[in-house]
Amino acid sequence: MLDIAGLSHRYADGHQAVEDVELHVARGELVSIVGPSGCGKSTLLRCVAGLQRPSAGDISVAGRAVDGVPDDLAVVFQDYTRSLFPWLTVRDNVALPLRRRGLDRAERRARALAALAQVGLDGTAGKYPWQLSGGMQQRVAIARALAYRPALLLMDEPFGSVDAQTREDLEDLLLSVRGGTDGPGTDAPGTPAPGTEGMTILLVTHDIDESVYVADRVVVLTGAPGRVHSELPVELPAPRDQIGTRALPAFVRLRTEVGRAVRRPCTP
């Protein structure tokens, strides 16, 4: 689904943000990207999203070279206050990108309401974002991405602006829409929510535990300029849950390994 080869980016001021990154992500996979602050995680994501043209290298999504924002892509950023339109209702915020999908008004509204239900936000459709808590606003941003049913979902520190409890709830929400927990939005434990089957997700996070808890694979970048330091498959059983999964010896081993790699980023 996503192929990155020889990706390097140097900003106009000469700063080399990422260097020779090689990454291949299969359809349906959830890959976390971690690394020391400033190692180029967001730069990498912006290049994949077509928002930043890399200085060198190739990126393709579903076999098509990225040379602008790909059609089948959605992005969830950390700062929900800047990604939701305050003058649009929650439903209209979620429905807006669906115009690009060529859906008529009734279909857009129906899909927006279904996505809001998926993230546990029934009953908020007519409200404005500023009438909701921070965690609820980030759910709206996630609902908007899910309603679009992208083949590739990019998430840049999506849970970085909410409190610890909400963060855990949102991690579980992400797992539940993929069928990994029995949280809101799933018809049954282990069943992906409609439209999310096969969705590929790239998640940038600085939270080591989170990177392991939600992912199928963790990719650790070196310190600046970011290169791939190591890749660790996460073979934890599903459904995952915040208490049980984090207590598993396999989880503890993995988080230790990722933590070591992030703290000693130059010695693979």
Q: Which residues contact ligand ADP (rule: CB under 6 A)?
A: 11, 13, 15, 17, 35, 37-43, 224
Q: How far is the CB of 237 from ligand ADP (least distance, A)?
A: 30
**Smallest gap from residue 11 Cβ to ligand ADP (A):** 3
Closest contact distance (angstroms) between CB of 190 and ligand ADP is 33
C-beta of 35 vs 184, nearer to ligand ADP: 35
253's CB contacts (< 8 A; 6+ apart) are none
Nearer to ligand ADP by Cβ, of 206 and 260: the residue is 206
The rounded distance, in Å, linking the Cα atoms of 129 and 109 is 17
**Locus of tokens 């090689």:** 22
> What b/e string do you get for 226-261 counting C-beta neighbours within 10 Å, with b at 16 or more?
bbbbbebebebeebbbbeebbeeeebeebbebbbeb
**Which tokens hold the place of 159?**
């849970």
Q: How far is the CB of 52 from ligand ADP (least distance, A)?
A: 8
Cβ-based neighbours of 20, under 8 Å, separated by 6 or more: 6, 7, 8, 57, 227
Least gap, CB of 203 to ligand ADP (angstroms)? 12
- Beta-carbon count within 10 A of 47 CB: 24
If the CB atoms of residues 42 and 242 are measured against ligand ADP, the closer one turns out to be 42
What are the C-alpha distances in Å from 151 to residues 134, 142, 188, 244, 257?
A: 27, 14, 23, 31, 30
CB of 157 to ligand ADP, least distance (A): 8
Select 39 or 193, whichever has its Cβ closest to ligand ADP: 39
Residue type, 27: R
Whichever of 11 and 85 has its CB closer to ligand ADP, that residue is 11
Q: Which is closer to ligand ADP, CB of 13 or CB of 235? A: 13
Which SS3 state, helix, strand or coil, does residue 144 take? helix
